[in-house]
Chain A
Amino acid sequence: MSNTFSRGDVERVARLARLELNAEEKELFAHQLAGILAYAEQIQRVPTEGVEPTSHAGDAAAMREDTVCASLPREQSLASAPDADPRAGLFKVPRVLA
C-alpha cells in the first residue's frame, strides 16, 4: 500500500463521514494520517492466509425474542433535541433541499 495521504484523500473521506474540516485541519490530518498509516503498514508483513477475522472478542451477540417491550416515552425522547415539535411528536431539521 502507498503511505501517502493527500489533502484530497482527507476531503474525500471527510465527505463520506459528513465532517466539515477547515483548511488547517485538512493539511494537518493529511500529514498525520500518512504517518499513522506508515506505522500501521507493519501488519502487512504478518502472514494471514486462511486466518479467520475476529470481529468480536466474546461469544456471538445473543438475540432476544422479537416482542414489543417498554421504551422511552415520546416526550422524553424529544426533550433533548435542539429543535422539536413535542405536540406533533416530531424532531425538526433544516430543509433537505437548498
Chain B
Amino acid sequence: MRIVESSVSTPEQSRTLKSMFEARKQVFVDLLKWDVPVVDGRFELDQFDDEDAIYVIVAGLEGQHLGSARLLGTTRPHILGELYPTLCAGPVPTGPDTFEITRFCLGLGQGAARRRETRNRLVSALVSTALEHGIRRYTGVAEMSWLQQILAFGWDCRPLGPPCAIGGSLLGALEIAITEQTPRLLEANGIWVSDDLRNGSFAEAA
C-alpha cells in the first residue's frame, strides 16, 4: 500500500487512508449504491486494496481525505482485466507502463466550488504521478454518464470498446495517454494545478 500525494506527512498517513476508505463507503455504497464489500460498517475495501495498490490522495491541512483515486498495475489482477474484459474490443491493454485508475472519489460535503478544486488537484496529481513514475497510459472503467466530464479535462482519451449496460448502468472502458504535453492540455481547460500549488496551502485558499 503506497500513498503518492506528497502533501501528507508520514504520521498523518494512516489517518488519511482511514478517512479515504470511509469516504469511499459514503460515495460508492451510500450514495451510488454500488454492490461492493464494506468492512466494519464504515470502510469500503475490496480484494484489490492490497499491498500493491497505489493511492493518490488529495488531503486537507489536517490530513483529512478530500479526494482520491486508486491505481492498480495492469500486470496484476485489476478491474478491467478481471471483471470487465468484454468492454474491450481488442485485448485488455496491459504492461509495466499501464496503470488502471479505479475508485475515483470526491469526498462529500465540500460544496461545489471546493469540490471542483479537489477534482482539479486530483486529476493533476494523477498526471504528475504518471510522469514521475514512467506511467505512459491509464486505463479505466467509467460510467458513461461521466464520459463528457472526463473528456472535458482535455487529456488524450480514447474508448477501448463499445459501452455495455451492466447492472443498471452503461459502462465503458477508456484509455488515457499521458505524455509531457498532458499538463498543457489540462491547463487549456482550467484543470491543471501545478505541483507547487498542490503541496502548499492551496486547500485553504478561499
A, B: real partners: no
Residues of chain B having any CB pair with chain A under 8 Å: none
